[in-house]
C-alpha cells in the first residue's frame, strides 16, 4: 500500500505545518488531546488562533463552529499536531461530546452547549465507569428516577478524568431497573455545580491527581438534559465512543520516544559494555519495527473511514497494539538507563521522565477498553470466532 500524500493532501499538510510554525507560541506544547491545559496567555493566544480557522473542533460541521474537514484532512492535521507537539484543545468536549450532541441532541442542547465548548468556557468529564462496572459497562447501577420535570440521581462513578475541574458531565444512569441491562439506561448532561455532587481525588502511581470518584446523592437533573430517548442511552453512549481517532498521536509519540532514546544510546555507547549495548540496540530495533506497524494500523483506519467504512475490529487492533507498544517503549527505556531509570529527579537522564512514563503507561491497556476486551472484539467481530 502506498501511503504517500497525493498533491492535494501534500498541499494541505504544508498548510497545517506552516500554520503551526507561524502561530504556535513558544513554550506551548502538549500531545494529549484529553489533557487539561492551563489558561495561560500563551495558551489563550493559541486557542484564538485555532478558533479563527475552526480547528478547535475541525471535524464539526461549519454551521456549528467547526471546520468541516474530511476524514483524511483531519488525519493529516492530527498527525502534524502530534509531530509538532502542538496542543489539541477541547479534549473530550470537542472529540466526543460535541459530535454526539450534533448527531443526537436537540436544538436547545446544541445552542446551550456547543458555543461555550468552542470558546473554552466549559470543561466536560465522562461519567461512565463505576466501581463494579468497568469493562462490563452495561451492568452500571447508578439510578435516576423521574420526579416531575427532573430525574433524581443516586450512585457513584469512578476513574472520572478531570472531574475536579469539570463544569459539566455527560453521564449514563439506569432509569429502568427491570429492563435488560443494555436497555433501561439514559444519557444525561449534568451541571457539576448541582447540589448533591461530591468529587473525591484518586492519586495515581506518579502522585498525580487526574482521576476522581464522583458521588451523587439525590442530585436533580432536569429532564431537558436527557440526550436522545429515555431508556435508550446505551446507544447514545455507544455513539459517543464511536467518535474515536485513528491513534496516530500514539504512533507519533512512540516514534518520538524511540528517536530520543536511540540518540541517547548512541551518545552514551562508550559507557556500556559491548554486550549491554548490543542487547539494548536489538530491543530498540524491535521497538522501531513495532512503531512502524502502529503507524500503518492508524493509516488503515483513516483509509477505511475515508472510504465510508466503519472500523470495528480494526480499531480494536490499533488501540490494543498502540497501548501495549507504549508499555514496551517505556520498559525498554528504563532498561537502557539501568538504575537511573528509577529516578524522577530532574538531574537524571531525560529529566527523570522515564520512570514517570513507565508508571503512566501501566494504565494504557486498561483505559478505553482493556486489552482483554479488545481481544474479544478482534476474535468475535474480526475473525468470526464463537463466543466462549
What is the length of the chain? Answer: 388
At residue 88, the pLDDT reads 85
Q: Report residue 37's pLDDT band, with 50, 70 and 90 as the boundaries.
A: low
At residue 289, the pLDDT reads 97
Where do you find CATH 1.10.540.10 in the chain? 7-89
At residue 388, the pLDDT reads 67
Interval 127-153 mean pLDDT: 94
Lowest mean pLDDT among 188-197, 239-248, 375-384: 239-248
Pairwise CA distance, residues 89 & 55, whole Å: 9
Looking at per-residue pLDDT, the higher value among 29 and 131 belongs to 131
pLDDT, mean over the chain: 91
For domain 124-241, give its CATH number from 3.40.50.150, 2.60.40.420, 3.60.21.10, 2.40.110.10. 2.40.110.10
What is the C-alpha end-to-end distance of the chain, expressed in Å?
35
Phi, psi angles (nearest 5°) of residue 146: -70, 135
Q: With respect to CATH, is domain 7-89 assigned 1.10.540.10? A: yes
Known catalytic residues are 244
Where do you find CATH 2.40.110.10 in the chain? 124-241
At residue 111, the pLDDT reads 95
At residue 33, the pLDDT reads 44
DSSP string for residues in 66-134: S----HHHHHHHHHHHHHHTPPPPSTHIIIIIHHHHHHH--HHHHHHHHHHHHTT---EEEE--BTTBS
At residue 115, the pLDDT reads 93
Query: Grid cell 478558533 — which residue?
Result: 51
Q: Which of 370, 368, 372 is nearest to 95 (CA)?
A: 368
- Torsion on CA atoms 129, 130, 135, 137, rounded to nearest 10: -80
Pairwise CA distance, residues 199 & 380, whole Å: 38
For residue range 275-320, list pLDDT tens digits in order: 999 999 999 999 999 999 999 999 998 888 888 888 889 989 999 9
Question: Strand 143-147 and strand 150-157: pairing?
Answer: antiparallel
- Cell triple for 208: 498525580
Pairwise CA distance, residues 60 & 67, whole Å: 6
Q: Which residues contact 315 (CB under 8 A, 6 or more apart)?
A: 244, 301
Overall CATH class of domain 244-382: mainly alpha
At residue 247, the pLDDT reads 65
Looking at per-residue pLDDT, the higher value among 42 and 216 belongs to 216
For residue range 10-29, list pLDDT tens digits in order: 999 999 999 999 999 988 88
At residue 218, the pLDDT reads 98
For residue range 311-360, list pLDDT tens digits in order: 889 989 999 999 999 999 999 999 999 999 999 988 999 999 999 999 99
Residue 35 has pLDDT above 70, yes or no: no
- Environment class of 250 (CB within 10 Å of its CB; exposed 0-12, middle 13-18, buried 19+): buried
For 258-325, give the secondary structure using H, E and C: HHHHHHHHHHCHHHCCHHHHHHHHHHHHHHHHHHHHHHHHHHHHHHHHHCCCCCCHHHHHHHHHHHHH
Is the pTM higher than 0.85?
Answer: yes
Neighbours of 12 (CB within 10 A): 19
For residue range 40-52, list pLDDT tens digits in order: 888 889 989 999 9
- Environment class of 369 (CB within 10 Å of its CB; exposed 0-12, middle 13-18, buried 19+): buried
Task: Say whether 201 sits in a helix, a strand or coil.
Answer: strand
Looking at per-residue pLDDT, the higher value among 249 and 210 belongs to 210
Amino acid at each position: 500500500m502506498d501511503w504517500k500524500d497525493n498533491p492535494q493532501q501534500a498541499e494541505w499538510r504544508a498548510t497545517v505545518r506552516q500554520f503551526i510554525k507561524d502561530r504556535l507560541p513558544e513554550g506551548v506544547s502538549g500531545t494529549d488531546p484529553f489533557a487539561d491545559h492551563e489558561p495561560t496567555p500563551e495558551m489563550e493566544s493559541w486557542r484564538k488562533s485555532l478558533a479563527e480557522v475552526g480547528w478547535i473542533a475541525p471535524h464539526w460541521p461549519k454551521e456549528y463552529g467547526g471546520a468541516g474537514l474530511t476524514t483524511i484532512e483531519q488525519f493529516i492535521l492530527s498527525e502534524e499536531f502530534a509531530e509538532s507537539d502542538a496542543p489539541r484543545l477541547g479534549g473530550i468536549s470537542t472529540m466526543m461530546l460535541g459530535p454526539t450532541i450534533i448527531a443526537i441532541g436537540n436544538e436547545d442542547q446544541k445552542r446551550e452547549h456547543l458555543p461555550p465548548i468552542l470558546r473554552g468556557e466549559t470543561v466536560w468529564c465522562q461519567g461512565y465507569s463505576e466501581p463494579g462496572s468497568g469493562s462490563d459497562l452495561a451492568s452500571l447501577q447508578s439510578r435516576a428516577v423521574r420526579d416531575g420535570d427532573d430525574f433524581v440521581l443516586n450512585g457513584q462513578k469512578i476513574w472520572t478524568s478531570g472531574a475536579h475541574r469539570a463544569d459539566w458531565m455527560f453521564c449514563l444512569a439506569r432509569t429502568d431497573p427491570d429492563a435488560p441491562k443494555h436497555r433501561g439506561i439514559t444519557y444525561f448532561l449534568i451541571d457539576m455545580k448541582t447540589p448533591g455532587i461530591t468529587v473525591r481525588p484518586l492519586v495515581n502511581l506518579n502522585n498525580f491527581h487526574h482521576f476522581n470518584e464522583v458521588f451523587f446523592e439525590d442530585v436533580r437533573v432536569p429532564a431537558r438534559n436527557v440526550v436522545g430517548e429515555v431508556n435508550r442511552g446505551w446507544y447514545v453512549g455507544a455513539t459517543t465512543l464511536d467518535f474515536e481517532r485513528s491513534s496516530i498521536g500514539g504512533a507519533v509519540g512512540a516514534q518520538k520516544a524511540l528517536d530520543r532514546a536511540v540518540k541517547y544510546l548512541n551518545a552514551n555507547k562508550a559507557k556500556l559494555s559491548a554486550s549491554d549495548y548490543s542487547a539494548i540496540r536489538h530491543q530498540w530495533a524491535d521497538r522501531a519495527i513495532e512503531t512502524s506497524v502502529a503507524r500503518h494500523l492508524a493509516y488503515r483506519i483513516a483509509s477505511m473511514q475515508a472510504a465510508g467504512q466503519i472500523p470495528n475490529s480494526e480499531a480494536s487492533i490499533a488501540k490494543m497494539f498502540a497501548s501495549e507498544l507504549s508499555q514496551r517503549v517505556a520498559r525498554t527505556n528504563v532498561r537502557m538507563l539501568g538504575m537511573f531509570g528509577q529516578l524522577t529527579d530532574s538531574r537524571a537522564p531525560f529529566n527523570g521522565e522515564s520512570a514517570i512514563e513507565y508508571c503512566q503507561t501501566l494504565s494504557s491497556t486498561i483505559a478505553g477498553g482493556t486489552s482483554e476486551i479488545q481481544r474479544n472484539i478482534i476474535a468475535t467481530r474480526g475473525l468470526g470466532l464463537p463466543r466462549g
